[in-house]
Amino acid sequence: MDNLKQILEDITLHDSILESVVIRGDGLVQLYIDFDKIWNKDLDSSISGIVIKSVYEISDFKLDRLNIIGEIVIQDIEDYNKEFIIQTEDKNKNAIKMIIEFVAGGSLIIICSGQAELLQTKKM
């Protein structure tokens, strides 16, 4: 697993499209993204999104259209109460808040452990 902050430094979500969100019962969230080819011209074409390992909550998901605008905001949350979390080795680390803004005023706010990796589609 990589650090979500590092992944978002290496790729650009501006002008990309969030195609779908898969939420699993174990706290893993998969963001399937159609990455903008201009901003991410060196990105491997098999990369189809981001997997976030331990999502504690999705505190906002308001959308009109799923076109991502601007830069993604990442904030450390030092005092996030993780007492309810039972399956994590990251209890002593700060939680991370990721804010994605969409056109027409939509947003997606995820609070998570900060552990993530790029999602790869199998090549046929």
Tokens of 42: 């060196």
For residue 124, the model assigns a pLDDT of: 45
> Which DSSP symbol is given to 31?
E
Determine the distance from the C-alpha atom of residue 45 to the mean position of all C-alpha atoms in its chain, rounded to a whole number: 18
Query: What pTM, to 2 d.p., does this model score?
Result: 0.87
For residue 123, the model assigns a pLDDT of: 55
For residue 12, the model assigns a pLDDT of: 92
Arithmetic mean of pLDDT over the chain: 88
d(CA 106, CA 54): 23
Nearest to 50 by CA among 101, 1, 105: 1
What is the percent of the chain where pLDDT is above 70? 91
> Which DSSP symbol is given to 123?
P
Tokens of 119: 């999602």
For residue 112, the tally of other CB atoms under 10 A from its CB is 23
Q: What is the pLDDT of residues 106-124, one digit of tens each?
A: 899 999 999 999 999 865 4
Q: What is the pLDDT of residues 94-106, one digit of tens each?
A: 899 999 999 888 8
Rounded average pLDDT over 23-50: 93
Do β-strands 115-120 and 47-52 pair in parallel, antiparallel, or remain unpaired? antiparallel
For residue 91, the model assigns a pLDDT of: 58
Q: What is the CA radius of gyration of the chain?
A: 14
Instruction: Evaluate whether 97 touches 42 at the Cβ level (below 8 Å).
Output: no
What is the percent of the chain where pLDDT is above 90? 65
For residue 29, the tally of other CB atoms under 10 A from its CB is 18
